[in-house]
Amino acid sequence: MLLRSKRCWALVAFSLMGFTAQAQSPGQDSVMIRRIFSEALANGKSYGNLHYLCTAIGPRLSGSEGAAKAVTWTQQLMAGMGLDRVYLQEVQVPHWVRGKKEKAKIRSRASSQQVPICALGGSIGTGKKALRAHVVEVQTFEELRGLDRAKVAGRIVFFNRPMNPRFIQAGQAYGEAVNQRSTGAIEAARMGAAGAIVRSMNLAQDDYPHTGSMHYQEGVTKIPAAAISTNGADLLSRLLQEDPGLQFAFTQNPQTLPDALSHNVVGEIRGSEFPGEVILVGGHLDSWDLAQGAHDNGAGCMQAIEVLRLMKALNYQPKRTIRTVLFMNEENGLRGGLKYAELARKNKENHIAAIESDAGGFTPRGFSIVAPAHKISQIARWKQVLAPYGLHDIGAGGGEADIGPLKSDQIALIGFRPDSQRYFVHHHAASDTFDQVNRRELELGGASMTALVYLLDQYGLK
Amino acid sequence: MLLRSKRCWALVAFSLMGFTAQAQSPGQDSVMIRRIFSEALANGKSYGNLHYLCTAIGPRLSGSEGAAKAVTWTQQLMAGMGLDRVYLQEVQVPHWVRGKKEKAKIRSRASSQQVPICALGGSIGTGKKALRAHVVEVQTFEELRGLDRAKVAGRIVFFNRPMNPRFIQAGQAYGEAVNQRSTGAIEAARMGAAGAIVRSMNLAQDDYPHTGSMHYQEGVTKIPAAAISTNGADLLSRLLQEDPGLQFAFTQNPQTLPDALSHNVVGEIRGSEFPGEVILVGGHLDSWDLAQGAHDNGAGCMQAIEVLRLMKALNYQPKRTIRTVLFMNEENGLRGGLKYAELARKNKENHIAAIESDAGGFTPRGFSIVAPAHKISQIARWKQVLAPYGLHDIGAGGGEADIGPLKSDQIALIGFRPDSQRYFVHHHAASDTFDQVNRRELELGGASMTALVYLLDQYGLK
């Protein structure tokens, strides 16, 4: 693109603003929302804060030293923001540790080669000696169940159904494939298998194994389960075609330690007119252990903190109480979300809405809402003042995990929806690092959440 | 995000599809557009082709060996696609070469340090000896013109107005700042300056200088002009505060060689009913010399080729002629676009629409259109079948440079609009490389263009 685009670009920008906002009255809401976005883009702090969280603190799996440091640092960060209240909520969390780096090898007639794997979160280990066995490749649980048990017993089941690339919303492909990771080990063990290897939940072809939580079931033998990179999965599948008698060997030694004490971190600005009505914004502070947890979910936490900072920076005094919650343990237990809801009920708190950002720090596209229809309609009508900022997709849909336990007819559970295309390249993998986050995209997300909080604060939710 | 999101994600995706497409009739257009996107996401070839263009061919400035190779390769690529016609259009292009890598140093009282610069495209050199001079920092041309000429004469003018981060559409910030690069050297020379240093057109803070075209003016002394990285610009500005008497020294030795022979590359599927009505899709094949030209504009070229491949793959026989044009020399002359329009007029060709992708291979957001109002309205009405694919911003706005010379009341000039947030991080800089492109985002762009071409082909444009 060259310089003559100057005029074109200006035309584009003005026109797009114009026609997307054609129904918009140039009222106070539009002015305030414009101020929110300008402050975020010019002076936003979530990017700098995320840099610190990712590079000075790093991985934050529940029970880890990183998680504890993140709790202390975010509490201090909010304590320095002039909020009305900053506090911790105690929560007991699972404490799983990966142990020594995993190893895996494919030994076929033709070759012997290492492939990248990682233990799934919650998995048991193989012991110090590798688990070595023949491999049965399947695409679905139905296919596995239809096999002769004798052909599965003692083997490693290789779940190799790729995420379906045809979905426009990448999360839908995730939803359709993730049962292999979450309960594959149960299905494999029921057939007598000795282990489970799962194709990484990744829409790209690369060498990163993607971890994520998996479960065992009472009464079903626990077997070791690991993720293999998408390139590794394709290699294994090709070699199995050539040599069905090949052996797969892997070693992993994670451990589940006793539950540990951890915390949700909470900060709030008290409402001036209706302090009893709470509007929550949140993310989860824990991350998987393999990376910095930049998109999942340092981004969401820093955006949730930024909502309060933007209100302060703009001297906006909310009518209702605006509360930022950084939940602990979303990834492997949801204990923070459950504890928060338990305390909210105990304290008879009245939440009118809860917005969670847990789909990455990408360019904003909208909000998806779980609520009675009339509440969804009220929020969707605000599209006229939000669409100029790229927020077109506003309507019924899923919330996010941590806020789920707050569900009732009184509350709107709202998932912030950034663009989904890049999320599953980095999700739960070592590549989920700060350098994969674009400053403008991240700051626009915090501004989008703030704009919605502002509207909820101004008008409440009937 | 953890596994329980499975249901949530599915809900989100279905719901978003649902409510964004609420006015959509489940007709043949929706079915065809769904097929286009499925084919692109599952089997798209633009990403693989872009990999070849970027890594096997590389930089492609007009007149360079890379540009010539790109012409030959894309011609061969289209020749193997079973199209009705593939041909070249000869075009004489400017031939500017950068020469030896540039060097720059700031010498202040306190220190002497190197900073990253690059010659602007079209600039003259400093000679082998560095151009060393005191520095005058300005933000605008008005500020410069208001200075005492004696305080500028013999010095280096440092244009340091940052792109305004507050714009939501990043291109608007570019439009507002780029005059510093394009005509800064003219303004500086008019005041007697010896050289011009321009803050890179970059919305990020980093160490990459961004090149781009600049101009001289008949009768105004030609002075050397270079871009300095945003970090370098901030450093220079800070040091100037401390020591207004500091000196800036830089060496660059680009040359303008005689015009060279090059080509536009054209491939088409002939229309079955109205072969005389042409729908053009294009990008520009040349790139700046510093990088692989991945987003600018290998992406657009590979998407334009993909439009034809998708039609072939889906056995779609267009009624009208669908023509892919890879323009040469968009970056520093627009000769390809001018030549194409000249030949189209000479051959009395009837173009009903021209779509250009030249804003990066990012996630699609819409199309901006230059055309009589009733044509814009007709295209905007297709939003009901395009919005489910994230294409919300469809309406009046700028086209792109290469198709500009085709402008008339008979044609709609259409710019494909991907998300703009990341574009100016890499634009014209050494970081515009293949690894900065996401496969899904790129393929969705080609599919979006194909969907619009399909609708234009089905209904024509009244």
Q: Check whether A4 has a pLDDT greater than 90.
A: no
Report d(CA A63, CA A260) in Å as an integer: 5
Q: Is residue A330 among the annotated active site residues?
A: yes
Cβ atoms of B152 and B144 within 8 Å: the answer is yes
Predicted pLDDT at B88: 98
Q: Check whether B16 has a pLDDT greater than 80.
A: no
Q: Which residues in A lie closer than 8 A to residue B440 (C-beta atoms)?
A: 165, 170, 203, 421-422
In this structure, the strands spanning B255-269 and B85-97 are antiparallel
**A418 near B CB under 8 A:** no
Buried b (16+ CB within 10 A) or exposed e, B29-63: bbebbbbbbbbbbeebbbbebbbebbeebbbbbbb
Chain A stretch 180-239, residues whose beta carbon is closer than 8 A to a beta carbon of chain B: 181-182, 203-204, 212-213
Nearest CA in chain A to B175: A6
Q: Which residues of B form the catalytic set?
A: 330
Residue B26 neighbours by CB distance under 10 Å: 10
Element (H, E) at B112: strand B112-114
ipTM metric: 0.94
Report helix, strand or coil for B421.
Answer: coil
Are B168 and A415 within 8 A, CB to CB?
Answer: no
Are B16 and A366 within 8 A, CB to CB?
Answer: yes
The HSE-up count of residue A415 (CA atoms within 13 Å, CB side) is 30
Most A-contacting residue of B3, B201, B301 (CB-CB within 10 A), to test interface: B3
Smallest Cβ–Cβ distance between A171 and the set B9, B330, B395 belongs to B9
Chain A stretch 282-341, residues whose beta carbon is closer than 8 A to a beta carbon of chain B: 296-297, 330-332, 334
Smallest Cβ–Cβ distance between B172 and the set A9, A170, A174 belongs to A9
Report d(CA B185, CA B121) in Å as an integer: 12
Are A169 and B419 within 8 A, CB to CB?
Answer: no
DSSP character string of B47-99: HHHHHHIIIII----TTSHHHHHHHHHHHHHHHTTT-SEEEEEEEEEEEEE--
Residue B379 has φ and ψ, to the nearest 5°, of -70, -40
Query: What average pLDDT score do residues A204-230 get?
Result: 98
Report d(CA A266, CA B53) in Å as an integer: 50
Nearest CA in chain B to A331: B2
Q: Which residues in B lie closer than 8 A to residue A399 (C-beta atoms)?
A: 8
Report d(CA A90, CA B409) in Å as an integer: 68
State the pLDDT confidence band at B399, using cuts at 50, 70 and 90. confident
Predicted pLDDT at A398: 85
Distance from B284 to chain A by nearest Cα, in Å?
9
Distance from B267 to chain A by nearest Cα, in Å?
22
pLDDT tens figures, A425-449: 999 999 999 999 999 999 999 999 9
Distance from A43 to chain B by nearest Cα, in Å?
9
Closest CA to B253 of B117, B154, B66, B134: B117
Smallest Cβ–Cβ distance between B441 and the set A19, A388, A421 belongs to A421
Closest CA to A36 of A361, A388, A400: A388
State the pLDDT confidence band at A399, using cuts at 50, 70 and 90. confident
**A82 near B CB under 8 A:** no
Q: Which residues in B lie closer than 8 A to residue A444 (C-beta atoms)?
A: 168, 421
Predicted pLDDT at B85: 98
Predicted pLDDT at B273: 98
Nearest CA in chain B to A36: B166
Burial of B380 (0-12, 13-18, 19+ CB in 10 A): middle
DSSP character string of A226-289: EEE-HHHHHHHHHHHHH-TT-EEEEE---EEEEEEEEEEEEEEE--SSEEEEEEEEEEE----S
- CA angle, B290 as apex, B287 and B295 as ends, to 5°? 45
Residue with tokens 């933000």: B139
Report d(CA B427, CA B445) in Å as an integer: 18
User: Which residue among the candidates A187, A277, A330, A443 is catalytic per the annotation?
Assistant: A330
Smallest Cβ–Cβ distance between A10 and the set B8, B42, B175 belongs to B175
pLDDT tens figures, B292-317: 999 999 999 999 999 999 999 999 99
Q: Token digits for B281?
A: 């899709």
CB-based contacts of B143: which residues, under 8 Å, 6+ apart?
A: none
Q: Which of A195-199, B8-12, B365-369 has the lowest mean pLDDT?
A: B8-12
Distance from A341 to chain B by nearest Cα, in Å?
17
Q: Which residues in A lie closer than 8 A to residue B389 (C-beta atoms)?
A: 168
Closest CA to B365 of A424, A339, A419: A419
Q: Write down the pTM of the prediction.
A: 0.94
Are B395 and A179 within 8 A, CB to CB?
Answer: no
pLDDT tens figures, A35-47: 999 999 999 999 9
Q: Which residues in A lie closer than 8 A to residue B296 (C-beta atoms)?
A: 1
Smallest Cβ–Cβ distance between B358 and the set A1, A41, A427 belongs to A1
Distance from B33 to chain A by nearest Cα, in Å?
12
In this structure, the strands spanning B131-138 and B247-251 are antiparallel
pLDDT tens figures, B63-117: 999 999 999 999 999 999 999 999 999 999 999 999 999 999 999 998 999 999 9
**B1 near A CB under 8 A:** yes
Buried b (16+ CB within 10 A) or exposed e, A405-444: bbeeeebbbbbbbbbbbbbbbbbbbbbbbbebbbbbbbbb
B134-143: long-range contacts (C-beta < 8 A, 24 or more apart)?
B134/B245, B134/B246, B134/B247, B134/B248, B135/B197, B135/B236, B135/B240, B135/B246, B135/B247, B135/B248, B136/B193, B137/B236, B137/B237, B137/B240, B141/B179, B141/B184, B141/B187
Nearest CA in chain B to A435: B436
Report d(CA A249, CA A380) in Å as an integer: 53
Nearest CA in chain A to B37: A166
Query: Residues for chain B: how many in total?
Result: 462
Are A8 and B401 within 8 A, CB to CB?
Answer: yes
Cβ atoms of B162 and B191 within 8 Å: the answer is no
CB-based contacts of A114: which residues, under 8 Å, 6+ apart?
A: A103, A104, A105
Distance from A181 to chain B by nearest Cα, in Å?
8
Are A5 and B167 within 8 A, CB to CB?
Answer: no
Q: Check whether B177 has a pLDDT greater than 70.
A: yes
Nearest CA in chain A to B183: A3
Chain A stretch 17-36, residues whose beta carbon is closer than 8 A to a beta carbon of chain B: 17-20
- CA angle, A104 as apex, A102 and A105 as ends, to 5°? 160
Query: What average pLDDT score do residues B202-210 get?
Result: 98
State the pLDDT confidence band at A1, using cuts at 50, 70 and 90. low
For helices B299-313 and B439-459, give the axis angle rounded to 10 degrees.
Answer: 60
Q: Check whether A315 has a pLDDT greater than 70.
A: yes
Residue B314 has φ and ψ, to the nearest 5°, of -95, 10
Are B1 and A332 within 8 A, CB to CB?
Answer: no
Q: Check whether A7 has a pLDDT greater than 60.
A: no
Are B178 and A388 within 8 A, CB to CB?
Answer: no
In this structure, the strands spanning B117-119 and B225-228 are antiparallel
Report d(CA A446, CA A450) in Å as an integer: 6
Are A421 and B427 within 8 A, CB to CB?
Answer: no
Are B15 and A395 within 8 A, CB to CB?
Answer: yes
Most B-contacting residue of A7, A14, A16 (CB-CB within 10 A), to test interface: A16
Q: Which residues in A lie closer than 8 A to residue B168 (C-beta atoms)?
A: 13, 17, 37, 41, 388-390, 444
Distance from A274 to chain B by nearest Cα, in Å?
31
Q: Check whether A359 has a pLDDT greater than 70.
A: yes
Smallest Cβ–Cβ distance between A166 and the set B38, B172, B203 belongs to B38
Smallest Cβ–Cβ distance between B2 and the set A4, A42, A331 belongs to A331
Q: Token digits for B226?
A: 């270079």
Are A392 and B444 within 8 A, CB to CB?
Answer: no
Distance from B176 to chain A by nearest Cα, in Å?
7
Report d(CA B265, CA B247) in Å as an integer: 47
Q: Check whether A156 has a pLDDT greater than 90.
A: yes
Q: Mean pLDDT for chain A?
A: 94
Nearest CA in chain B to A442: B421
Query: What average pLDDT score do residues A248-260 get?
Result: 98
Q: Which residues in A lie closer than 8 A to residue B359 (C-beta atoms)?
A: 1
Residue B203 neighbours by CB distance under 10 Å: 26
- CA angle, A400 as apex, A399 and A402 as ends, to 5°? 130
Task: Tally C-beta pairs within 8 A across A and B.
Answer: 260
Smallest Cβ–Cβ distance between B419 and the set A172, A203, A419 belongs to A419
